[in-house]
A and B are shown apart, each in its own frame.
Chain A
Amino acid sequence: MRLAHHLAVASEWIRGDCVEATEFPDLAQRYMVMAVPKTVVNDRVSFEGAVPEAQFVDAVLRAVNGTGDDR
Chain B
Amino acid sequence: MAILTERDRAAVTTELAKMAGPVKLVVFSTQLGASEYCVETERLVREVAECSDQVTVEILNLHIDKERAEAYGVDRVPAIVVEGARDYGIRFFGIPVGYEFTNLIDAIIVASSGTPSLGAETLERLADLKERVHIQVFSTPT
- Interface residues of chain A, those whose CB is within 8 Å of chain B, are 1-24, 27-28, 31, 33, 36-43, 53-54, 57, 60-61, 63-64
Contacts and interface: CB of A to CB of B under 8 A. Distances in A.
A53 B135 contact: no
Nearest to A11: B126
Given A42-B134, A54-B122, A64-B131, 18 more contacts: A4-B135, A5-B103, A5-B107, A6-B117, A8-B89, A9-B114, A10-B118, A11-B126, A13-B130, A14-B89, A15-B91, A17-B136, A18-B137, A24-B93, A40-B136, A54-B119, A57-B126, A64-B133
Interface stretch (B1-9, B24-32, B56-64, B94-102): B94-102
A42 B110 CA distance: 23
Interface in B78-105: 82, 84, 88-96, 100, 103
B37 A23 contact: yes
Which of A8, A21, A61 is packed against the most chain B CB atoms within 10 Å? Answer: A8
B141 interface: yes
A62 B118 CA distance: 19
B140 A22 contact: yes
B133 A13 contact: yes
A39 B136 contact: yes
28 contacts: A1-B103, A5-B106, A6-B110, A6-B116, A7-B126, A9-B110, A9-B114, A11-B126, A11-B133, A13-B131, A14-B129, A15-B73, A16-B89, A17-B136, A18-B92, A18-B93, A18-B137, A19-B137, A20-B140, A21-B94, A22-B140, A23-B94, A24-B94, A27-B138, A36-B138, A40-B137, A42-B133, A57-B126
